[in-house]
Amino acid sequence: DIQMTQSPSTLSASIGDRVTITCRASQSVSNWLAWYQQKPGKAPRLLIYDASALETGVPSRFIGSASGTEFTLTITGLQPEDFATYYCQQYNSFFPLTFGGGTKVEI
């Protein structure tokens, strides 16, 4: 299985901050990586796919980027509704799909 390592596990931030979450794959996943946002008691919401493509309806302050096996989700200008847990997920090695451990963005 491909292991996805996210950092940090928790991130404290303020409204308006620029925050960066990192996800590292244990081997190449090309650009087959997605980012999700999850709020308590809710299903995850797809934000970014193919490492940097913005899902329809997602605000442009969410930016995905990639460099080799390291992927980054940047939120520019943190909004109150952005406090949540974020997960990366690889879908290059389909057997099986794997997720990162999550990053909780809190005040």
Partner 1 sequence: QVQLQESGPGLVKPAQTLSLTCSVSGASITSGNYYWSWLRQAPGKGLEWLGYSFYSGGTFYNPSLNSRLTISVDMAKNLFSLSLISVTAADTAVYFCARGKQRFAKWGQGILVTVSS
> Which positions touch partner 1 (CB under 8 A)?
32, 34, 36, 42-46, 49, 55, 87, 89, 91, 94-102
Q: Looking at this protein, which amino acid is placed at residue 6?
A: Q
Smaller CB separation from partner 1, 3 or 77: 3
CA nearest to 50, candidates 91, 101, 2: 91
Nearer to partner 1, 81 or 94 (CB): 94
CB of 96 to partner 1, least distance (A): 4
Q: Cα separation of 61 and 49, whole Å?
A: 15
SS3 helix, strand, coil % of the chain, rounded to 5? 5, 50, 50
Kindly tell me the sign of the dihedral angle through the C-alpha atoms of 31, 98, 20, 80: positive
Q: How far is the CB of 27 from partner 1 (least distance, A)?
A: 17
- Beta carbon nearer to partner 1, 17 or 92: 92
Whether residue 96 is preceded by a cis peptide bond, meaning omega within 30 degrees of 0, is: yes
Smallest distance, partner 1 to C-beta of residue 17, A:
24
- Give the residue with the Cβ less far from partner 1, 17 or 104: 104
For the CB of residue 48, give the shortest distance to partner 1 in the complex, in Å: 9
